Amino acid sequence: MTLILTVLLKGLVDAIWFNQGQVCCAGSRLLVHEAIAEDFYHRLKARMDKLIIGDPLDKSIDVGAIVDPIQLVQIQNLIAANNAGEIYHANTPVPEGCFYPPTLITGLHAADTLMQEEIFGPVLVSTTF
């Protein structure tokens, strides 16, 4: 099970935080089986904390800048308006400027705004089944 979760986490990290989640094919919504959710989220948060934020032209960087200050404000507003779920921001340094930390929001329901609206940023929203 550990190897499977490790492979899933690698793919998940690549799917959502590639290009800061600012691609039309970003995997920004996650469905997790209730039986593994607690362990999976714990492992995902630990992996998120290892992501490096900075200059996207630097090959050692995992998450670069948000495309535009207006989009950064849009992301911040969507997260601030959220009244459902638990928000986790990666425990990693965030440079000044147009950056937003990799974020996971768990405990959402399918009808919650963040499960319905495209955030177009480094934010992964999740629910269980």
User: For 42-66, b where at least 16 C-beta lie within 10 A, e where not — what string?
Assistant: ebbbebbeebebbeeeeeeebbbbb
Q: Are 34 and 41 in contact (CB under 8 A)?
A: no
Q: Residue 29 carries which side chain, given as an amino acid letter?
A: R
- The fold of the 2-128 domain, in CATH, is Aldehyde Dehydrogenase; Chain A, domain 2 (3.40.309)
> Which residues, including other chains, have CB under 8 Å from residue 92's CB and lie 6 or more apart?
48, 49, 50, 51, 52, 53, 101, 102
C-alpha dihedral sign at 3, 9, 12, 14: negative
Distance separating alpha carbons of residues 95 and 61, to the nearest angstrom: 12
Q: What is the pLDDT of residues 4-48, one digit of tens each?
A: 778 888 888 888 877 776 666 667 889 999 999 999 999 999 999
Q: Residue 94 carries which side chain, given as an amino acid letter?
A: V
What's the pLDDT score for residue 22?
Answer: 67
Element at 104 (helix H, strand E): strand 103-106
Instruction: Please state the pTM of the whole predicted model.
Output: 0.90
Domain residues of the chain, as ranges?
Answer: 2-128
What is the tally of helices (H) and strands (E) in the chain?
4, 4
Residue 1 has pLDDT above 80, yes or no: no
Lowest mean pLDDT among 25-29, 96-100, 109-113: 25-29
Q: What is the pLDDT of residues 70-80, one digit of tens each?
A: 999 999 999 99
